[in-house]
Amino acid sequence: MKLTVRIWRQAGPATEGRLVSYPVDDVSPDMSFLEMLDVLNQELIAHGEEPVAFDHDCREGICGSCGVVINGQVHGPERTTSCQLHMRSFADGDVVDVEPWRAKGFPVIKDLVVDRSALDRIVQAGGYVSAPTGSAPDAHATPVPKPDADLAFDNATCIGCGACVAACPNGSATLFTAAKVTHLSLLPQGQPERARRVLDMVDTMDAEGFGGCTNTGECVAACPKGIPFASIASLNREFRKASRTGRG
Amino acid sequence: MSDYRTGDPIADTKAPAVALENRWDERKFAAKLVNPANRRKHRVIVVGTGLAGGSAGATLAEQGYHVVQFCFQDSPRRAHSVAAQGGINAAKNYRNDGDSVYRLFYDTVKGGDFRSRESNVYRLAQVSAQIIDQAVAQGVPFAREYGGLLDTRSFGGVQVQRTFYARGQTGQQLLIGAYQALSRQIDAGNVELHPRTEMLDLVVVDGRARGIVARDLVTGAIETHLADAVVLATGGYGNVFYLSTNAKGSNATAIWRAHKRGAYFANPCFTQIHPTCIPRSGEHQSKLTLMSESLRNDGRIWVPKRKGDTRPPAEIPEDERDYYLERLYPSFGNLVPRDIASRAAKNVCDAGLGVGPGGLGVYLDFADAIERMGRPAIEARYGNLFDMYQRITAEDPYRTPMRIYPAIHYTMGGLWVDYDLQSTIPGLFVIGEANFSDHGANRLGASALMQGLADGYFVLPATLNDYLGGTRLDEVSPGHDEVTRVETEVRDRISRLLSVRGTRSVDSFHRELGLLMWDHCGMSRSREGLRKALDRIPELRAEFWRDVRIPGAAAELNQELEKANRVADFLELAELLLIDALAREESCGGHFREEHQTPDGEAQRDDEHFSYVAAWEYGEKPVLHREDLTFEHVHPTQRSYT
């Protein structure tokens, strides 16, 4: 099939960006969306133009590197990562707009590449269990009820792609932070630092310029890993409780 | 004219000459310590943030060292370890099924086709149990039973259930555990993190590794970072084949440039082909996706008995199907090791029995398992893998069998290291997939995660102490002649790449190289084919430097330049890989030489002549140093899975 893609081109953080239109021929329905961009880039290089910069790595939907807004929807029309979206989701002759994640917390670096290091700084603020190497008890010394382990896992599947932030009208990182907090607060290992963790992570989230959460739910609709909406309620509960008791 | 020269033999002198089970304890006791107050004066560079690099960085920082850590991704959490699906082995014997440290050791040496060191493998098995404890303490959500205890499953090549897992995302969960430990140390100021930064060369001063030259991938700035020791945890080089299950960014640059500075490269031809990969769909394919080997626990592999049978699988009656693994290897069945399963798939496809487009596929069928256990049970075990398969192929594996075909997955070769994980350059340590150790000629499933974490959490932190505690290191100034020289070489190389201004894209060279390697150095290799590839590669390399086209400039985010830098290295490494494959006149593990097979087509090892590690020194012509392997405990036998 033949498509017209209109791609956000921006040379650097300080320069202005704009949508540029390119025809792409010979698109196979079995191609991933990123493979379609590869094909376009080969064309651009052949014509002496600069290829489109975009982030990607594993192309298996697990590393969380890729992420673009396609026709106004993060990761495109299906609930998956951009690398696992296939061109069979589009029709011959379609015009497809491709833009970077847009959020105050994610400055554009070039074209479709944005800086998501703020998410790392939220984790650095407390998204861990302090368990220095070599100090661990036998794994079976701490049984975890299966329902807790499963729910912790559901939250731990977050790939940190930032789709939740890009989908949120407020540019909030609440779903990301909620997934981290919920994963660790459900497990016995995560208890001692529970209060400090949520307070520090939420403080950092605000300081990084992410917006507040108004329970719009766009994040959950866009999340390729299905992080539950209930995790936000769980974050709020953890936060309120910790606010009363202090950092512990 | 020979392709290489032969040099002096090489040996590992660090494993103590005591009983196998005491070697690691003895080594740790004999290792010099560094007083905690002195540790903060030492800077240690760690390149890579996967399971090996992330766990090493976190642990070294906990010990008090000042760690300077690098990754080319935008976040340390994205290292390719994140993509490992199936699980991690540990000799916990939680199932009471007869597992032990010795059995894990035995299975691993045998699975590696007797081309690994007994000392290293035994230590790996010893440390394995501690890894699970560490990960659980960090909050890694492994699968659990209703009683709250950890669940396990089995993997190819073994008959016990020792594999711990977290759905089909075990690598992701373990990596996040290490990443969180690293994040804690970043926050504490003990780790200085440089994301989107790529190591382009190694600085060796007075014979010791003292730093790296790296490129900031956003600004293009070339920067030198100096330290007292350098740790490479940069993964494997499977992307030399272009199509592989590796992430697109996985590359060989760090280890290849270290090799050119004096680190020996061991067993480069030992590449693992994984049997359960989704077949390629067309010319546009940019990479391949693996389906976890754990699927072979419940899925049955078959092809039609009749050539050219194009009926849909459901219409092929039971007696017209060939469950060839169950037929050929009755006691292991679908759970034979990866090399055996891959070659068997190739053989049936070569015989014209393959299914799907181009006949390059075999069925992995869950119909029996769904009937036996019900769909919900299968969904609970493999749901995310089934979803992934459906997304990629648009076929529903609950209704129709999956199609799978082997693909390049893991490289057992890598930089040569001793028992301390130190390379032939003092002060340069190499861990995880980047080194050659522990797996021999074939890696058993669920052992890559185990090795990465064993090296990073437990082995390196002990042996690095010994190096730093026992070595007098003078300060190297940033203006040192050697530093300036390496920096200049890096800059010149980039200018040279950008000044070619030719007509062919980097990818077109990479694809051509990959196809050449897959055709002649893939699942089976012959003298003739290897020779053909060896003739072509120098031409292709010359063409690359004459005709590559790299748009853009050096001082900006330039992804074509990044790729060109890496492909230039693959074009050199490929040649060494072929020479190594040519020199190894035997079949073993993932290395199948057509000239060396048993009458029934199995790999024919030659222990008398090839029971060694091939450690290559860089030179005008590569120099082969042999490290003899001795087996005191697991005596080499023909591997049998029948």
Q: pLDDT tens digits, residue range B102-145? A: 999 999 999 999 999 999 999 999 999 999 999 999 999 999 99
CA distance B108 to B192: 36
Report yes or no: B181 at the A interface, CB cutoff 8 Å.
Answer: yes
Instruction: Tell which of B24, B73, B77 to mutate to test the A interface (max A CBs under 10 Å).
Output: B77
Question: Which member of A131, A135, A149 has the closest CB to residue B141?
Answer: A149
Question: Which member of B137, B461, B551 has the closest CB to residue A129?
Answer: B137
Give φ, ψ of A157 to 5 degrees: -75, -5
Å from B219 to nearest chain A CA? 10
Residues of B in contact with A126 (CB under 8 A): 187
Contact A57 B249 (CB under 8 A): yes
Confidence at residue A38, expressed as pLDDT on a 0 to 100 scale: 98
Confidence at residue A32, expressed as pLDDT on a 0 to 100 scale: 97
Question: Which member of B58, B150, B282 has the closest CB to residue A139?
Answer: B150
Closest CA to A50 of B381, B320, B583, B549: B549
Closest-approach residue (CA) in chain A for B247: A58
**Window B:5-64, CB contacts with A under 8 Å:** 55, 58-59, 62
Contact A129 B133 (CB under 8 A): no
CA distance B462 to A219: 44
CA distance A203 to B174: 27
Interface size, chain A vs chain B, as Cβ–Cβ contacts under 8 Å: 210
Q: Is B36 exposed, middle or buried (0-12, 13-18, 19+ CB in 10 A)?
A: exposed
Average pLDDT score over residue span A195-208: 98
- Is residue A197's pLDDT more than 90? yes
CA distance B13 to B18: 13
Total count of residues recorded for chain A: 248
Residues of B in contact with A146 (CB under 8 A): 144-146, 148
- Is residue B384's pLDDT more than 90? no
Q: pLDDT tens digits, residue range A24-55? A: 999 999 999 999 999 999 999 999 999 999 99
- Is residue B1's pLDDT more than 70? no
Contact B141 A119 (CB under 8 A): no
Report yes or no: B187 at the A interface, CB cutoff 8 Å.
Answer: yes
Confidence at residue B601, expressed as pLDDT on a 0 to 100 scale: 84
Average pLDDT score over residue span B375-382: 91
Residues of B in contact with A12 (CB under 8 A): 556
Average pLDDT score over residue span B623-632: 98
Beta bridge partners of residue A5, listed in sequence order:
A22, A96
Contact B181 A125 (CB under 8 A): no
Contact A133 B181 (CB under 8 A): yes
Question: Which member of B139, B147, B458 has the closest CB to residue A143?
Answer: B147
Report yes or no: B400 at the A interface, CB cutoff 8 Å.
Answer: no
* ipTM for the whole predicted complex goes beyond 0.95: yes
CA distance B145 to A147: 10
Confidence at residue B322, expressed as pLDDT on a 0 to 100 scale: 97
Closest-approach residue (CA) in chain A for B556: A12
Å from B137 to nearest chain A CA? 6
Report yes or no: B308 at the A interface, CB cutoff 8 Å.
Answer: no
Residues of B in contact with A30 (CB under 8 A): 281-282, 284, 394
Confidence at residue A4, expressed as pLDDT on a 0 to 100 scale: 98
Sheet containing B428-430: order of strands: B191-194, B66-70, B43-47, B229-232, B428-430
Å from B544 to nearest chain A CA? 15
Residues of A in contact with B73 (CB under 8 A): 57, 63, 65
Report yes or no: B552 at the A interface, CB cutoff 8 Å.
Answer: yes
CA distance B642 to B620: 46
Please, how many CA atoms are within 13 Å of residue B532, restricted to the half-sphere of its CB? 13
Catalytic residue among B103, B257, B338, B566: B338
Contact B187 A80 (CB under 8 A): no
Query: Is the distance from CB of B580 to CB of B269 less than 8 angstroms?
Result: yes
Residue B334 DSSP symbol = G
**Window B:432-451, CB contacts with A under 8 Å:** none
Contact B248 A57 (CB under 8 A): yes
Give φ, ψ of B527 to 5 degrees: -55, -45
For B625-630, the CB contacts below 8 A with 24+ separation are B625/B7, B625/B8, B625/B9, B625/B10, B625/B264, B626/B6, B626/B9, B626/B10, B627/B9, B627/B10, B627/B11, B627/B12, B627/B266, B627/B416, B628/B9, B628/B11, B629/B114, B629/B115, B629/B116, B629/B117, B630/B118
High-pLDDT (> 70) share of chain B, %: 100
Q: pLDDT tens digits, residue range B317-373? A: 999 999 999 999 999 999 998 899 999 999 999 999 999 988 999 999 999 999 999
> How big is the CA angle at B392 (ends B391 and B394), to the nearest 5 degrees?
65
Å from B506 to nearest chain A CA? 9
Q: Which residue shows structure tokens 């007797």?
A: B114
Radius of gyration of chain A (CA): 20
Instruction: Tell which of A128, A135, A186 to mutate to test the B interface (max B CBs under 10 Å).
Output: A128
Radius of gyration of chain B (CA): 24
Å from A158 to nearest chain B CA? 10
Integer distance in angstroms from the first to the last C-alpha of chain B? 42
Residue B381: active-site member: no
- Is residue B628's pLDDT more than 70? yes
Residues of B in contact with A156 (CB under 8 A): 141, 166, 173, 176
Q: How many CB atoms lie within 10 A of CB B507?
A: 19
Confidence at residue B159, expressed as pLDDT on a 0 to 100 scale: 86
Q: pLDDT tens digits, residue range B23-57? A: 999 999 999 999 999 999 999 999 999 999 999 99
Contact A127 B183 (CB under 8 A): yes
Amino acid making up residue B587: S
Q: pLDDT tens digits, residue range A52-74? A: 999 999 999 999 999 999 999 99
Average pLDDT score over residue span B197-219: 98
Closest-approach residue (CA) in chain A for B562: A53
Residues of A in contact with B289 (CB under 8 A): 59-60
